[in-house]
Structure 1
């Protein structure tokens, strides 16, 4: 798959994975589902969910460190700034052969354009926050977040 194809796929995923409503309880449900999946797969991750600037869910699995907390915060800054998943920015920058500093003049110690942060969008309201995972190799942080969001959104659509 080319970077352009992947960017299109990531945009489509953001369009699909939207909520009709979102609350602290929704964040708790998502956070717990991510923890359950991580435990079942023996993964060591940190999870951070924010609504606006408020951190409404945070959990660090055994085996993580304060570095993972910093990564979640830096990835969340990407969603806040660009309104896109951090994976989208990772691919966009890779395709352009640029860094976050080169392309957008942003400090890489504050902004981490690497997969794992996904925008929380509510239909009719737009971007309201982010779900972030740190700790897995490759694009696995992103895949874990989107798999759980897909599951939670599908379940809520049934009820």
Structure 2
């Protein structure tokens, strides 16, 4: 479990934006959507900040349930300022049953698939979320998209 936590923490240290605005959200969302389409994934993709959805895509095959999962995963990121996969790994290492809901309640899903948009010298400004695959695959899709966005000039 320690190796997983270290790897997830390293992703968050590496995947930091210099700035992030509505145009960046649109470009990042389209990049992740294109990756998902090429792979034939039936997923929902969402980028949001508190109170505002900046990007939304619903690829063929998803169900309304994905909308609920997206909102709940993103809520974890925006509250804890860490990826939902990292929160899950940390809690699991401490023996906390994240599926039990506990003190977070029904508005949160502590499972992989949402990742913070962290702006250098600012902090977490948004959450990028995928739902429709396994938790690990949702997480990997988002990370792949963010990494490609930052590597190929989308991160300013």
Please report the TM-score for the alignment, with normalisation by the length of structure 2. Answer: 0.93
Q: Which residue of 1 aligns with 2:133?
A: 136
**Structure 2 gaps, min length 5:** none
Q: Alignment partner for residue 29 of structure 2, among 28, 31, 48?
A: 31
Shift of 1:104: 5.7
Q: How does 1:9-158 map to 2 (within 5 A)?
A: 9-100=7-98, 105-107=103-105, 109-156=106-153
Shift of 1:62: 1.1
Shift in CA distance, 16/62, structure 1 to aligned 2, threshold 3 Å: same
Distance 1:13 1:41 in 2: 22
Distance 2:56 2:95 in 1: 33
Structure 2 contact 20–155 (Cα < 8 Å) conserved: no
Alignment coverage as a number of residue pairs: 156
Please report the TM-score for the alignment, with normalisation by the length of structure 1. Answer: 0.91
Distance 2:3 2:93 in 1: 11
Q: Secondary structure at the match of 1:105?
A: helix
Shift of 1:102: 6.5
Shift of 1:157: 7.3
Shift in CA distance, 158/70, structure 1 to aligned 2, threshold 3 Å: closer
- The CA deviation string for residues 101-144 of structure 1, in whole angstroms up to 9 with x for no partner, is 8696111x211010000000111111101100001124000101
Which 4+ residue blocks in structure 1 deviate beyond 3 angstroms? 100-104
CA RMSD, 1 decimal? 1.9
Structure 1 contact 100–106 (Cα < 8 Å) conserved: no
Q: Which moved more, 1:74-83 or 1:52-61?
A: 52-61
Structure 1 contact 50–131 (Cα < 8 Å) conserved: yes
